[in-house]
Structure 1
Amino acid sequence: MISLSPQAALWFLVPVAVVSFVAAFNDLKRMKLPNAVVMALAAIYVVMGPFLLPFDQYLWGFAHAAVMYVVALFAYAYLGVGAGDGKFAVAMSMFIPFSDLGAVLMLFAAFLLGAFVAHRIARAIPAIRRATPDWVSWEHKKFPMGLALTGTMVTYLVLAAVIRAL
């Protein structure tokens, strides 16, 4: 079974965390995940992947993205998932070997619930609302799913680096 090595996870972690932070901030502030952020995440994989991953695993990442693209289109068309969220999930999928899919889905479910509750609590606190008056997500009926996606991605890399290194 192919897994992400601890070394690859560590090398990916810093640039992915930076891009993920920008994505989460944009989703909270504007309820949008810009294409530039999605492209930056994909570029990290495309540029660093050949140096960090076995070549077959690197190529499988593109296959994962193609499958996730179909899933994201379905989710956008029929489930109300935002287009930016779907595109970000496609870029994320390149980093995740198939053997880790179950763990990542459980991680995403936990982050989705946690981020939803945290967002709803935060928007109910007047001091937070005053500090971020121009954030669209406070008034929007939908939830900024980029928050859960980015948390999942960064946590997955941290766990892949720490747990597999033990």
Structure 2
Amino acid sequence: MDIPAQAALWFIPFVLPICFYVAFTDLRDMLIKNHAVVALTFVFLLVGLFVLPPWSTDWTTANIGPMSLSLPPYVWHAFHIVVILIFGILLNAVGVMGAGDAKFLAAASPFVWVGDVRLIMFILAATTLAAYVTHRLVKRTPLRNIAPDWESWSKTKHFPMGFPLGGTLAIYLILGTVYGS
């Protein structure tokens, strides 16, 4: 994994509660709350300053079209928010995903190292499958009575993606503490 284990370790105590909250509120209300997305963004912007201090790391050069741009890794990771948010808005506009999902993906994106994109896609696929099966099974069992008023139980065409999205980020950071560079 490209994510430094130390970085994952620093992010985990702040990110995990937000991931659990996002999963819970999306299951309960079919809504990813804006304050959770803002909190996740601020965690990266604040904790990231200490994890990837822009003043003490080597700058990374990337080519964007004909331009060559050199920036600190902290700035590149923060730039992920803008890029993923634009893609998320487009996907939301064509009805592929909800607005909350798009915002959460954008807020979660700076925590993912570019070299780990394939891994995060695998984790997302596995987590989504597991979350979907779990949700649909629990929906049809007496376990549903633990939280009978959850909005997600009554939805047939929509699925609370905050459940697997929060789980994916949590799993990625946990794996990063163990297998990170």
CA distance in 1, matches of 2:95, 2:3: 30
What amino acid is the match of 2:104? F
Higher strand share: 2
Is the CA contact 2:45–2:78 (under 8 Å) kept in the aligned structure 1? no
What 5-or-longer segments of structure 1 have no aligned partner? Answer: none
What amino acid is the match of 2:31? K
Deviation at 1:30, TM superposition (A): 0.2
Deviation at 1:53, TM superposition (A): 1.4
Three-state SS of the structure 1 residue aligned to 2:155 is coil
1:131 equivalenced with 2:130 (yes/no): no
Q: Which moved more, 1:71-80 or 1:143-152?
A: 71-80
Moved over 6 A (4+): none
Deviation at 1:54, TM superposition (A): 4.5
What amino acid is the match of 2:10? W
- Give the alignment of 1:77-156 within 5 angstroms: 77-125=93-141, 127-141=142-156, 142-156=158-172
1:76 equivalenced with 2:92 (yes/no): yes
- Give the alignment of 1:4-43 within 5 angstroms: 4-43=3-42
Say which one has the larger Rg: 2
What amino acid is the match of 1:99? G
What 5-or-longer segments of structure 2 have no aligned partner? Answer: 55-71
- Give the alignment of 1:45-60 within 5 angstroms: 45-55=44-54, 56-60=72-76
- TM-score, normalised by the number of residues in structure 2: 0.86
Three-state SS of the structure 2 residue aligned to 1:94 is helix
- TM-score, normalised by the number of residues in structure 1: 0.93
What amino acid is the match of 1:5? P
